[in-house]
Amino acid sequence: MLDPPRAEVIDAIDRCRDAGIRIIMITGDSKNTAEAICQRIDIFQELENIQGKAFSGREFDDLSTEEQSKACHHAKMFARIDPTHKSKIVEYLQSHGEITAMTTKTAANMVLADDNFSSVVAAVEEGRAIYNNMKQFICYLSSSNIGEVVCIFLTAALGLPESLIPVQLLWVNLVTDGLPATALGFNPPDLDIIECPPRNPKESLITPWLFFRYMAIGSYFGFDIQNHFKCRSGGKESENINCSIFDDPHPMTMALSVLLTIEMCNALNSSSENQSLLKMPPWKNKYLLYAIALSMSLHMMILYIPMFNTVFQICPLSLEEWLAVIKISLPVILLDELLKFIARRYIDRGLKSNQTLHGMISSFGTSLFKQNLPTVDKIYGHETAHIE
With beta carbons less than 8 A apart as the criterion, state whether 336 and 217 touch.
Answer: yes
For domain 9-98+358-381, the CATH class is alpha beta
CA angle 32, 34, 39 (to 5 degrees): 95
Distance CA 116, CA 12 (A): 10
Contacting residues for 236 by C-beta, under 8 A, at least 6 apart:
none
Q: Under the phi-then-psi rule, with left for phi > 0, alpha for psi from -120 to 50, and beta for the rest, what region is 97?
A: left
**77, containing H or E segment:** strand 77-79
Instruction: Map residue 78 onto helix, strand or coil.
Output: strand
pLDDT, one tens digit for every residue, the chain (388 residues): 566 777 778 888 888 888 888 888 888 888 888 888 888 888 887 777 888 888 988 999 998 988 888 888 888 888 998 888 888 888 888 888 776 655 555 544 555 666 677 777 888 888 889 988 998 898 888 888 888 888 888 777 777 777 788 898 888 888 888 899 999 999 998 888 888 777 777 777 778 888 888 888 888 877 777 665 554 444 455 455 554 444 567 778 888 888 899 999 999 988 888 888 888 888 889 999 999 999 999 999 999 999 998 888 888 988 988 998 898 888 889 998 998 898 888 876 555 544 433 334 343 334 444 433 333 333 333 333 333 3
Domain 9-98+358-381 shares a fold with domain 126-354:
no
Instruction: Map residue 103 onto helix, strand or coil.
Output: strand
Compute the 3-state secondary structure of the chain and give helix, strand, coil in percent, each to the nearest 5. 55, 5, 35
**Does CATH number 3.40.50.720 belong to domain 126-354?**
no
Chain centroid to CA 335: how far?
Answer: 20
Instruction: Give the domain ranges of the chain.
Output: 9-98+358-381, 126-354
Instruction: Map residue 27 onto helix, strand or coil.
Output: coil
**10, containing H or E segment:** helix 9-18
Instruction: Map residue 325 onto helix, strand or coil.
Output: helix
pTM of model > 0.85: no
The CA–CA distances, whole Å, from 335 to 2, 213, 318 equal: 59, 10, 27
